[in-house]
Structure 1
Amino acid sequence: MQLRLPVWMGIAALVLSACASLQPVETGQKMIGSPQSAVSDTFGKPTETHQLADGTLRWIYSKQPYGYDVYAADFDGSGKLIAFRQMLTEAEIYKAQPNTWTKRDVMERWGMPREPIQYYPLMKREAWSYRMYLPGYVPAHFSAYFDDNGVLDRTMIIMDTYGADRSRSK
């Protein structure tokens, strides 16, 4: 029995979709040089888009608040994918520049937080929080603290000692 072209195309799309959901970084990096339409077909509609100062267009794919991932797809001026990576890593977090970055800089890197924004009146600081994994798949929370002028004051990573097992009785 011979399969027709539309069936093969459907199977190929299904396999690509499975790869994108199981290994998004690897899939995205293999797509470097592809047009925006191919990235959209593979990963769907981004949760946010940002035009960066250097002309790069960044698409954010956030799995927050329940997931632990924020992916960035960066496109050059011609609409070709130039980078795809997981943004909630220690290496990316250490690029944050306290006393220089603003809320916009943090938003362009990790997207708007999907956890409730907290304000600590005694510190006079607003905190944006993101769930992440530390190496070894240790659940943690990354927080960015802003002063009343919206300037990044500090960042903090706190291990989540309960992790994803909060519903289990102790």
Structure 2
Amino acid sequence: MTPSLSLHLHTVRWACALACAAALVGCAVPEWQKPGTPASQIQKDMGSPQVRSPLPEGGERWVYSRQPMGQQVYHFDFDSAKHLLSVRQVLEASEFNRLRPGVDTRDSVYQVFGKPAMVEHVASFKGDIWTYRIYENGSDRQAHVFLDPQYVVQRVMFTDERHRDDDRH
């Protein structure tokens, strides 16, 4: 076999593998899930949710997070018959701005946003800082939720996400 034919076959194999992977992932795109879909089908397509919490009138919310590397957290809301009502991406500044300092807790933050991308500490604040990666106005950003030692939200702050680019060139 000539080197160019071998390279071509290798490229074709990789292209086929990537196409198959894309087709499989395409079945589980949150935004493509249709209202009325049974919860059992959603779980088959998406896997187990990170968080499950009750909704009024017997419904349930499932939270699927793409943290720590992704910048999306999805709420799948189901009615009492376990049929999908809606899918909504909630990892947005407006959702973090709904948090109530002095009222919301670690548990209520977890119910909305799931596990953070990272938990940080700084000398100027006693407590945990839960950091979520978000995408806002075309920029990679971070939302920081400051939790005091009793795990009560004290403030929310947003920063640009720093990337470790090599600036030596």
- Give the TM-score, by structure 2 length: 0.74
- Preserved contact between residue 16 and residue 42 of structure 1 (Cα < 8 Å): no
Q: Report the identity percentage.
A: 29
- Preserved contact between residue 102 and residue 151 of structure 1 (Cα < 8 Å): yes
Q: For residues 25-44 of structure 1, what are the structure 2 equivalents within 5 Å?
A: 25=31, 27-28=32-33, 31-44=34-47
- Preserved contact between residue 17 and residue 42 of structure 1 (Cα < 8 Å): no
| Alpha-carbon displacement from aligned partner over 1:45-97 (angstroms, at most 9, x marks no partner) | 32x12223634422221111111111121222221112211111122222211
- In the alignment, structure 1 residue 147 sits paired with structure 2 residue 148: yes
Return the index of the structure with the highest Cα Rg: 2
CA distance in 1, matches of 2:59, 2:105: 18
- Preserved contact between residue 118 and residue 127 of structure 1 (Cα < 8 Å): yes
Shift of 1:107: 0.2
Further displaced range: 86-95 or 54-63: 54-63
User: Which residue of structure 2 lines up, in the alignment, with residue 106 of structure 1?
Assistant: 109
- Give the TM-score, by structure 1 length: 0.74
User: Which residue of structure 2 lines up, in the alignment, with residue 18 of structure 1?
Assistant: 26
Tell me the C-alpha RMSD between the 2 structures.
2.3
Q: Which runs of 5+ in 1 are unaligned?
A: 1-13
Q: Which runs of 5+ in 2 are unaligned?
A: 1-21
Q: How many residues align?
A: 146
CA distance in 2, matches of 1:52, 1:146: 24
